[in-house]
Amino acid sequence: MAPTDSALPDSVPSAAPTIAVDEVVETVSALIRFDTSNTGELATTKGEADCAHWVQERLEEVGYEAVYVESGAPRRGNVFATLPGADRSRGRLLVHGHLDVVPAEPGDWSVHPFSGAVEDGYVWGRGAVDMKDMCGIMLALARQLKSSGTVPPRDIVFAFLADEEAGGTYGSHWLVEHRPDLFEGVTEAVGEVGGFSLTVDAPGGGKKRLYLIESAEKSLAWMRLTAKARAGHGSFLHDDNAVTILAEAVARLGRHRFPLVLTESVTEFLRALNEESTFDIDPDQPDLATALGKIGGLARIVGATLRDTANPTMLKAGYKANVIPQTAEAVVDCRVLPGRQEAFEREVDELIGPDVTREWVTKLEPYETTFDGDLVDAMNAAILAYDADGRTVPYMLSGGTDAKAFAKLGIRCFGFAPLQLPEDLDFAALFHGVDERVPVDALVFGTNVFEHFLMHS
């Protein structure tokens, strides 16, 4: 469904400057109304192009020369626009968001997932937090800065991207490989998933808001396991069965607990949590998971950054009940900490044993950057400008984002899409969840913070 306000005049800068905080809610709502569901299949993923063209129109309307690029397949639409900065010799800042979303089943929702309804103080719909919220903030601010003639300290490259939800093969990774020119001069980048608040009980009473900035990501590595043995009749004695061999290996791997390894980002996050909250977390204690449980849904993300994980997700074997197949296969979703790949593979090999072979179906490297420097200072100052009692802390994301693609170009990446959230909102559960929604107040906060950040980065 196309938004009602898509018929706008072409390429005519507005007479009066646009104001981002006035536009952001309607912009996020309009973006949600484009069904950009990414099914993972080229044939059924279609909405990105319409959405990208709409973004392009909105950028050109205020005077940008916006570039529309398809990334490896028809209708996989991406849009790039650059706002020139005062010092053009400085490294450019990439601000990126993905326009695709995961599919949604309307019957499960309170409102239609592609309605973009604004009700009860929230904007509702698929993509509201992942990540048409930030795309809306980016677009509203890009328009405001351009139409008001504002010059940021350095060049800002706004990128609205396709295919993040299927790993970026037809999005960021394709663009990095085939169109590196689009990222020329870019030294740093911000995108999802970070900048949101987590409210904790402060040690001296009262509450403290921590703003989690993503400074690291685990790897994303999908592994196929294969067992090959003797085929035969299901009624005979048969102790060399591929299904049994594979099942045992999968069970051992799935139940295995990899060692606790605290990287710098995780250590800093836990230290901040100890300082600012009533939690008393000793990273060496085995009840760390219980302590983390107190931070609600977020514990599922943070808990997964304490060690490598290997979750079996797919099984395939056999074609008839009375035929023992020659081959059995499984897919395991592995997420490995920075610096752990070799040790992880050794452990996996011991667990699966000599009769099962393994290969990587997909392997995207982890990354981690230090939480310091001018860009971190700019994020920190922007948050403090609108929440004087807040504190920014680094954290590691257990999943992957487009940052993995940009890191391949040597770009230093952070997750910073600022939102001040109600204390009781289970933010983590909204990602890919039913009734995904974002508070209107959080969008206004995010827009103000992000403007401050862009003007001081």
- List of residues contacting Zn ion (CB under 5 A): 130-131, 192
In the complex with Zn ion, which residue's Cβ is closer, 172 or 420?
A: 172
Sign of the four-CA dihedral 303, 308, 313, 317: negative
Report yes or no: 329 and 309 within 8 Å, Cβ to Cβ.
Answer: no
Closest separation in Å from C-beta 130 to Zn ion: 4
340: nearest Cα among 392, 441, 417, 266: 266
- Least Å distance, CB 157 to Zn ion, is 19
How near is the Cβ of 266 to Zn ion at its closest, in Å? 21
How many Å apart are CA 388 and CA 208, to the nearest integer? 11
CB 141 within 8 A of CB 454: yes
Q: Please report, for residues 250, 251, 262, the alpha-carbon distance to residue 246 in angstroms, rounded to integers and kept in the order given.
A: 6, 9, 32
| Minimum distance from residue 164 beta carbon to Zn ion (Å) | 5
Q: Which is nearer to Zn ion, 135 or 246 (CB)?
A: 135
Cα of 39 vs its chain's centroid, Å: 17
* DSSP conformation class of 258: P
Q: Give 230's contacts (C-beta < 8 A, 6+ positions apart).
A: 238, 240, 324, 326
Query: Cα–Cα distance between 131 and 151 in angstroms, integer?
Result: 26
**Residue placing its CB nearer to Zn ion in the complex, 192 or 217:** 192
Q: How far is the CB of 131 from Zn ion (least distance, A)?
A: 4
Give me the DSSP letters along 154-210.
Answer: S-EEEEEES-GGGTSTTTHHHHHHH-GGGGTTEEEEEESS--EEEEEE-TTSSEEEE
H-type alpha helices, 34-97: 48-61
Q: Which residue's beta carbon is nearest to the bound Zn ion?
A: 130
Dist. CA 365–CA 367, nearest whole Å: 7
Find the shortest distance in angstroms from Cβ 37 to Zn ion: 13
Q: How far is the CB of 101 from Zn ion (least distance, A)?
A: 8
* Minimum distance of Zn ion from residue 396's CB (angstroms): 16
Q: How far is the CB of 138 from Zn ion (least distance, A)?
A: 13
Amino acid identity of 102? Answer: V
**Closest to 222 (Cα-Cα) out of 340, 363, 351:** 363
Other beta carbons within 10 angstroms of residue 362's beta carbon come to 16
Q: Which CB, 97 or 325, lies closer to Zn ion?
A: 97
Closest CA to 251 of 172, 325, 129, 356: 356
Close Cβ partners of 90 (under 8 Å, ≥ 6 residues apart): 153, 154, 155
As a whole number of angstroms, the distance between CA 213 and CA 196 comes to: 8
- 335 or 452: whose CB is closer to Zn ion? 335
Given the complex with Zn ion, which of 131 and 396 has the nearer CB atom? Answer: 131
Minimum CB distance to Zn ion, residue 82 (Å): 23
310 beta partners: 334
β pairing state of 67-70 and 122-124: unpaired
Three-state DSSP state, 228: strand
Smallest separation (angstroms) from Zn ion to the CB of 98:
6
